[in-house]
Chains A and B, each alone.
Chain A
C-alpha cells in the first residue's frame, strides 16, 4: 500500500485542476437533479406518477448518473494515462501496480461521495429530510454500486484502443443501460427478449438496490441485488487483472 495515500491525494489535486472534468462529475448530476426536480414539482400532484418519480425515481436517477460519470471519467483517465506512458512510468517505480489503479478508484469514490453530499444538501428543498441512517445506507449502497461499476470500467479501459475512443465507448456501454434499468418504466413493458437482457444488466440490479434503500426497504429484500452487484465486481476485477493493458 506504499504510496497509495500520496498518489490518491495527488490525483485529487490534479482532478480539481481541470474545471470541465470537475463540472462533469460533480456539477452535472446535481444540476440534473435540481433542474428536473424544479420542473416536475409543478406537475406533481399527490399520488401522481410525477410525484412518485420525484420522491424515489429522481434521487436514484441522479445517483446512477453519478456512478456512471465516475466510470466514464475513470475509463478516460486510464486511457489517457496509458496512451501518455504515465502508467508505464509509474510501473517503473516501486509502487505496486494495483496501488496505481486503486488510487484512481479512491478518487472516483471520494468525488461520488462528495457529489452525493451536495445533492442531499440541495435536495432538502424538495424532500422532507429522511433519517440520517437512511441517507447513510443510501450512500454506502451507492459507493458499493460505484465500486462494482468501476470494475466494469477497468474492463472497458483494457479494451479501448486509444484515449480518443474511451469516453464514447464507455458512454455507449452505460447510457443504454440506464434506459433498460427499470428506472423510468417497469421492465415487464419490454419485449420478452429485451426484458431478459435488461434483467441481467448490472445497472438493473443497481437501480433496484438503490431505489429499495431510498424507500427504506429492509436490506433482506435486496440481498439478490447486492449479490449480483458483488458478482459483477468479482468477475470484472478478476478479468481485468488478466487482460488489463499498461501500455
Chain B
C-alpha cells in the first residue's frame, strides 16, 4: 500500500440551506489511524460537514477527498469502504438486531462475520430483539455494528453518545478506541468537551460553520490556555516568597491558610512539588487547576459551549 498522508482532506467547503449558512468555510485533514473530532456547539455545522464527507450531500463550494475519492460523485464505490453512524438515526421498528446486521452484511463485498461483531459489541443476547425494544445504548451499539460490518477503512460517527448515561458513554468510548486500535481511522463529532478531550487524538474546534483551530487536545490547551494554578493549604509564612522565585510563576496569592500559585510553565506543578519538598514546607492539602478543552473553547469563542 502506498503511503497515504491523509485519509480525509477537506478544503474550504461551504454549504447553505437557502439563506441559512450551515458550513461557511471548513478545512482540515485527518491522518490515517487517528481519532479525529469535530467539536463545537449544536448548530455549528458539524453534522453538515460529516454528511458531506459521507457523500450524502454535495458542498456548494470547496473540495473533499476521502480515501482519494470525491464522496458525492464516487457514490457507491466509496460507500463500500467507509462506515457511517448518523445522528439520531432509526431503523425499522420491528427489524431484529440479527436481521439488520445480516442485511447490511449482504450489501458489502467483504463483510465481517455478523455474529462475531454482535458478540464484540455485547449484543449477542439481543440478536432476536426488535429495534424498538432496545435501550438507547443498545441502539447506538447496533449502529456502531452497522458502521463496522463492512470492515471499513474510515468510520464516521456523528454524536454517538448523545442521550446516553455516563456508564453507557464510557463503554462506547472504549469501543471507539478499539476501532482505532485495529488500525481504522475514526472521524467523529461531539458537543461534549470531555468526550473530545478523552477520546480524540486531534480535534477541530468548529463554530458558526468555521474551523477555529485544529490540534491535539493538549496542544490546544497549551497554546490557548497555558495558565495553571496550584493551591496549597499551608501555615508557613515564608512559603509565598519561595514560590514567587520559581521560574515562570506569575503570581502568588496568600490568604486564610492557603497559597495560590499561578504560572504558565508546563512544569509548574512539578516545580511547586519540588520546592515544597526541598524546603520542608508543611502542606495539608494540594490542588491543581489545569485548563481543559472547555476553557479553550471559552477563550476562543467568548462563550461556553452549552450557551
Interface, chain A (partner B; CB < 8 A): 2-3, 6-7, 10-11, 13-14, 17-18, 81, 84-86, 88-89, 91-96
Contact = CB atoms under 8 A, between A and B. Distances in A.
Contacts of B108: 94
Interface stretch (B31-39, B88-96, B179-187, B277-285): B88-96
Interface string B80-118: 100010101111111100010001101110000000000
B95 A14 contact: yes
Contacts of B54: 92
Given A14-B92, A18-B94, A95-B107, 14 more contacts: A3-B107, A6-B107, A13-B99, A14-B94, A17-B94, A81-B92, A84-B91, A85-B86, A89-B84, A89-B91, A92-B54, A92-B56, A93-B104, A96-B76
Interface of B: 54-56, 76, 79-80, 84, 86, 88-95, 99, 103-104, 106-108, 130, 146
A240 to B, nearest CB: 19
Given A92-B86, A93-B104, A86 B91 contact: yes
Contacts of B92: 10-11, 14, 81, 86
Contacts of A10: 92, 95, 99, 103
30 contacts: A3-B103, A3-B106, A6-B106, A6-B107, A7-B103, A10-B92, A10-B95, A11-B92, A14-B92, A18-B94, A81-B92, A84-B90, A85-B88, A85-B89, A85-B90, A86-B90, A88-B89, A89-B84, A89-B86, A89-B90, A89-B146, A92-B55, A92-B56, A92-B79, A93-B79, A94-B79, A94-B80, A94-B107, A95-B107, A96-B76
A89 B139 CA distance: 14
Contacts, number: 59
A88 B80 CA distance: 16
Contacts of A94: 76, 79-80, 107-108
Contacts of B80: 94
B72 to A, nearest CB: 12
A180 B103 CA distance: 44
A162 to B, nearest CB: 14
Closest 6 CB pairs of A and B: A84-B90, A17-B94, A85-B89, A92-B84, A89-B89, A94-B76
Contacts of B103: 3, 6-7, 10
A188 B291 CA distance: 83
A21 to B, nearest CB: 10
A92 to B, nearest CB: 4
A96 to B, nearest CB: 7
A85 B80 CA distance: 20
A7 B99 CA distance: 10
Contacts of B55: 92
A81 B84 CA distance: 18
Nearest to A96: B76
A18 B95 CA distance: 11
A107 to B, nearest CB: 12
A14 B92 CA distance: 8
Nearest to B92: A14
